[in-house]
Amino acid sequence: MEKKEKEFFNKIKTIAEEIKKNDNFVVLHHYDADGVSSGAIICKALERENKKFKVKWVKQLYSEDIKEIKGLGKKYLFVDFGSNYLKELKKEFGKNFIVIDHHQASGNSEFHLNPLNFGIDGGKEISAAGLAFLVAKELNEKNSDLSALAVIGACGDMQDSGGQLTGLNARILKEAEKEKIVSVKNDLRLYGRIGRPLAQFLVYSNSPVLPELTANEEACVQFLKNNHIPVKRNEQWLSYDDLGPDYKKKFVSALILHMQNHNVPEWKLQSMIGEVYTLEKEERKTPLRDAKEFATLLNACGRYGEADVGRNVCMGDREKWYQKALGLLQEHRINLRSGIDFVMQRGVEEKENFYFFDAEDKIKESIVGIIAGMLYGSGAIQDNKPIIAFARNEDGGIKVSARGTQDLIRKGLNLGGVLKKVCLELGEKSEGGGHKIAAGCRIDLEEKEIFLQKLDKKIKQSYT
């Protein structure tokens, strides 16, 4: 074992020992799929050690949250965030806190587990759920059954986006395979292979967007018909996973051919095939059976302010909380669908350098970006310009979501950079940023027109 890796596993030991020695924990975890699954792993492990604990999730760790939980317990455990707050945590809790995180850290502390400090890529090779799993296993061999949650967390943070899990993730996966908790195969990686009827499988595909299929149900139904793919058997809608090997092959070749006919580049086609993870202990045909679908279920819970629901499902509930989670997932699908319908009906407006639409309060600000991205497949817009979506914030302001395409990025577009610049010009109240291909910001209602003008100029400049 390499020296650094040895140190990494020593740190895991240190943290497990610290947990063993103490009681009365307060667990604070992030609200996305990785945050929820890592929080659940830690809670389950504490439960099995007969430790008392309180647990709470937050969307983002703020100083107020840190102050708010002070006094609720004796030992504070931060999962999937905290690395950037070590100084503050020291000030509030002295030595009585543990951080398990994989984001960029500032400083270090005794009970701080972060792969980046050991030369391990926290963006690709392990997520908070993987770290939590290693700690849990160090606490008790029995916790090896939680490996599925580590895989779910990694998928939630898109650490499988290269087509497979690598590094420590791959090692955890091997273990999960050996214990028959997860099985791995190479297959079509589109989201919803198990839980969605075939037409919906295509309609809601947004990674990648399928030209003339994504967000266009009629076209998807026609596509299946033209290629003689059965969509029902015994009055039951079929999912991709229900198709036999021959029909699967037929489906994949038809889809690839369709993409090639729409000039989708080779690398993107290749990214559609890769590892898929089946959770063998989960019931067939449920969204818990596939790691990515499980992660989406958790994200849906978080998005609608119910990350507790997701955590309870992760911890094993398959009754009340699971039913509630299914309801939230259903609500999410309905919202996506009616959001798409709304935009298709209202139509998209156009400036010289981008498309845009204002959903006002008709689409939730938390999903308006997803819908904007899906429009590239719908036929409502071409892929020659980025798309900007507006929705109302809770505070009455405007949430701006921007989406582009790989091709535009190659030509120089950087949406995160552009939004940041525009916001700076609008004054300090507005803030913005994000990635090149997807970004967001908040502006005041009355700033919309000037924002559109400034944006048009800045996007143009980014190509030169």
Closest approach, Cβ 69 to Mn ion, in A, equals 20
| Strand stretches in 102-206, DSSP E | 112-113, 182-188
- 39: which residues sit within 8 A by CB, 6+ positions away? 27, 29, 30, 55, 57, 79, 80, 132, 311, 314
Closest approach, Cβ 35 to Mn ion, in A, equals 6
Closest approach, Cβ 80 to Mn ion, in A, equals 4
Which of 127/147 has CB closer to Mn ion? Answer: 127
Closest approach, Cβ 207 to Mn ion, in A, equals 18
Please tell me whether the peptide bond between 245 and the residue prior to it is cis, using omega within 30 degrees of 0: no
Closest approach, Cβ 122 to Mn ion, in A, equals 8
Closest residue to bound Mn ion by CB = 34
Distance in angstroms (rounded) separating the CA atoms of residues 53 and 97: 13
Distance in angstroms (rounded) separating the CA atoms of residues 335 and 284: 26
Q: What are the tokens at 132?
A: 């939590």
DSSP for residue 298:
H
> In 3D, which of 323, 309, 296, 135 has the Cα closest to residue 200?
296
Which of 128/419 has CB closer to Mn ion? Answer: 128
Closest approach, Cβ 284 to Mn ion, in A, equals 29
Which of 35/73 has CB closer to Mn ion? Answer: 35
Closest approach, Cβ 128 to Mn ion, in A, equals 4
Pairing of strands 25-30, 53-58: parallel
Which of 80/447 has CB closer to Mn ion? Answer: 80
Which of 128/224 has CB closer to Mn ion? Answer: 128
Which of 196/292 has CB closer to Mn ion? Answer: 292
Closest approach, Cβ 283 to Mn ion, in A, equals 27
Q: What are the tokens at 314?
A: 């992760």
* Count of C-beta atoms within a 10 Å radius of residue 445: 11
Pairing of strands 97-100, 112-113: parallel
Point out which residues bind Mn ion (CB under 5 A): 34, 80, 127-128, 157
- 271: which residues sit within 8 A by CB, 6+ positions away? 161, 163, 189, 208
- 8: which residues sit within 8 A by CB, 6+ positions away? 115, 118, 120
Q: What are the tokens at 167?
A: 């590094």
Closest approach, Cβ 141 to Mn ion, in A, equals 25
Which of 30/137 has CB closer to Mn ion? Answer: 30
Identity of the amino acid at 144: S
Which of 55/422 has CB closer to Mn ion? Answer: 55
- The answer to whether the CB of 343 falls within 8 A of the CB of 375 is yes
- The answer to whether the CB of 288 falls within 8 A of the CB of 275 is no
Which of 298/367 has CB closer to Mn ion? Answer: 298
Within 13 A of 427's CA, how many CA atoms are on the CB side?
A: 6
Which of 72/170 has CB closer to Mn ion? Answer: 170
Which of 73/156 has CB closer to Mn ion? Answer: 156
Q: What are the tokens at 2?
A: 């390499």
- The answer to whether the CB of 202 falls within 8 A of the CB of 184 is no
Closest approach, Cβ 159 to Mn ion, in A, equals 9
- The answer to whether the CB of 383 falls within 8 A of the CB of 410 is no
Which of 8/240 has CB closer to Mn ion? Answer: 8
Give the 3-state secondary structure of residue 264. Answer: coil
Closest approach, Cβ 123 to Mn ion, in A, equals 9
Task: Please give the C-alpha separations between residue 393 and each of 62, 65, 151, in angstroms, as whole numbers.
Answer: 20, 22, 33
Closest approach, Cβ 34 to Mn ion, in A, equals 3
Distance in angstroms (rounded) separating the CA atoms of residues 348 and 335: 19
